[in-house]
Amino acid sequence: EPRVFSGVQPTGNLHLGNYLGAISRFVPLQDEMPSIYCVVDLHAVTVWQEPAELTRATREVTAAYLAAGIDPKKAIIFNQSQVKEHAELAWIFNCIARMGWLNRMTQFKEKAGKNRENASVGLFAYPNLMAADILAYRATHVPVGDDQKQHLELTRDIAQKFNNDFVERIRELGLGIPNPEPTPESPDELYFPITEPMIAGPATRIMSLRDGTKKMSKSDPSDLSRINLTDDAEAISRKVRKAKTDPEALPSEVMGLEGRPEADNLVGIYAALSGRTKAEVLAEYGGQQFSVFKPALSDLAVERLAPIADNMRRLIADPGHIDAVLRDGAERAAAIAAPVLHDVRRIMGFLEAR
């Protein structure tokens, strides 16, 4: 049974990359499949979070989901720490995943930096919690930005190993689902599905406005490097105007963007915001200077983002409503995850007295 799961961390500074790479793509999916969108606060605390700021940011991400058009009657919206099954399954996956698998994760290396001895154990085990987030709902589809690709591969590896390690038990207890792609090495019945990453379109990796080789990121110290979802029209147009570019005119074909990371990024942003391909954008703006393209881009960004920012401000002014949405979502999420954890306990042989 198809099901979508994805999440965003409440770590402040929600930006255009989070919107185009993730949140905006959640909206149409809610009409296609049962969808679960989580504010992943347990992930946020893998690095230090000021408690009051964590609360504020949790409500802000929820407001962004709602303002972008996710309907809490259709999709489930909740914050991770309210559903204890995430933490429980993450522990089990800590015992399934291998040190060697996690040692290869590039995001840990980047985030821990040189001082690895001082990184939290949670930051290292982060991908296991992410696998638990997805598999607690036996989700099949996960829309994310390109930076999450490696973590999703790990989720597949964890599901695979669990299915293989417990193949006999899963069969005995009659808990398997048919394997859609059986191979000689994989069982014909699975407990956890092998998740499909959904990483597609022109906005899977939005780059910094100050450096076309760096990802647009919440933690970049320069506010000019990103367009925040809460920026007003004036801030958006100032940031687009100041965005780094090269002196050439835009090419008329996508191939001409090669070796021009800043131009490529701005064209990609335009394409994603207008629902077109880069080729279509270049068919219109090829041969034009940035002095023409940038104002067009900034008008488009304001047109698309200003209503979301307005909605977010309105929603944030009523934290009681946001908290009620999260509480209701947590109940519905737990109703799906609790039976999965019950199965997992039986599969693994944990004795349950109640």
E strands in the chain: 4-8, 35-39, 76-79, 141-143, 177-178, 189-190, 196-198
Q: Could you say whether residue 328 binds ligand AQP (CB under 6 A)?
A: no
Cα-flanking dihedrals φ and ψ of residue 246, to 5°? -105, 170
Q: Is 105 within 8 Å of 127 (Cβ atoms)?
A: yes
Selected binder of ligand AQP within 132, 216, 236, 315 (CB under 6 A):
216
Binding region for ligand AQP (CB under 6 A) out of 189-197, 217-225, 275-283, 329-337: 217-225
Binding region for ligand AQP (CB under 6 A) out of 29-37, 76-84, 152-160, 202-210: 202-210
- The reply to whether 84 belongs to the active site is no
Q: Could you say whether residue 215 binds ligand AQP (CB under 6 A)?
A: yes
Selected binder of ligand AQP within 4, 5, 18, 38 (CB under 6 A):
18
Instruction: Identify which of residues 170 and 322 has a Cβ nearer to ligand AQP in the complex.
Output: 322
Which of 218, 244, 278, 294 is flagged as catalytic? Answer: 218
Size of the site for ligand AQP (CB under 6 A): 20
Residue 20: strand, helix, or coil: helix
Selected binder of ligand AQP within 3, 4, 5, 17 (CB under 6 A):
17
Pairing assessment for the beta strands 189-190 and 177-178 based on DSSP bridges? antiparallel
Burial class (CB in 10 A: 0-12, 13-18, 19+), 5: buried
Binding region for ligand AQP (CB under 6 A) out of 65-73, 209-217, 236-244, 283-291: 209-217
Pairing assessment for the beta strands 35-39 and 76-79 based on DSSP bridges? parallel
Q: Could you say whether residue 148 binds ligand AQP (CB under 6 A)?
A: yes
278 Cβ partners below 8 Å, 6+ apart? Answer: 202, 254, 257, 264, 267, 268, 271
Give the binding site for ligand AQP (CB under 6 A): 8-9, 11, 17-18, 21-22, 144-145, 147-148, 203-206, 215-219
